[in-house]
Amino acid sequence: MEDKPISSIGGIDQGLNRSLAVVLLDAPMPREEHLLDAVKRGLLDKYDAIIASLQEAERWDKLRELRNKRSNVSIYHDWVLSNKTAEFTEGSLIAIGNTPFRQTQFRGNGMPQLRKRIDKWSYGRQRKMIALKRAERGYPTLLEDEYNTSKRCHICGSMLTTRHWIDGYSYILCHSCGAKEDADFNAAHNISYKIEPVAVWVYNLGIDYALRCRDDRLKAGMNMGETHASL
């Protein structure tokens, strides 16, 4: 797929309770969207319950078969989520928070139910699929270090924040400016800020130059063909 010009930048945070929080810094107002995979979670929970019963009954043949089916379900729904993401972020240069494996290991500590859910997460695969589906549409995707993006207030930049949880939803309360922001969207904003504004200009300039070079080559080829035809 040929690279296409970009008109905005954005960030994606792979949340703990919601699959993806996407922020696009479009003028005049940013766009925010939660992209969910509730169907995938429901199916995986169902498979996990059956797998647990098979383990208890020591049905190893059925267990291997079901684990393969579970893996296929997980991969399929990650593809679906990646397609949704590529469609929503059309025309944008996007950064995704890149969570190292070691850092992921500490997510959800002290919260057993959340920790159990994170153990099933496919962070890395989702990132790769999103980058691939966006590349198929001609748009680049950057992986950015997400260190402190969840703690920093995206409005004033302060680190004096606390995270609060209510019924599976979390928000950041900033003690400097008083802002109360959705924790996942706050992180997505901070991830998008890691993209240098000049990157959009440089990227589009490179595309424009490549297109002009291509047009010049086509014109040169046509002129050469006309010259040969006249001889």
Q: Tens digits of per-residue pLDDT, 207-218? A: 555 445 545 555
Q: Tens digits of per-residue pLDDT, 108-124? A: 445 555 545 555 567 88
Higher pLDDT, residue 221 or 199: 199
Tokens of 205: 């300039």
Q: Tens digits of per-residue pLDDT, 82-140? A: 999 999 999 999 999 887 644 444 454 455 555 455 555 678 889 999 999 999 998 98
- For 173, the enclosing helix (H) or strand (E) is strand 169-174
High-pLDDT (> 90) share of the chain, %: 36
What pTM was computed for the model? 0.76
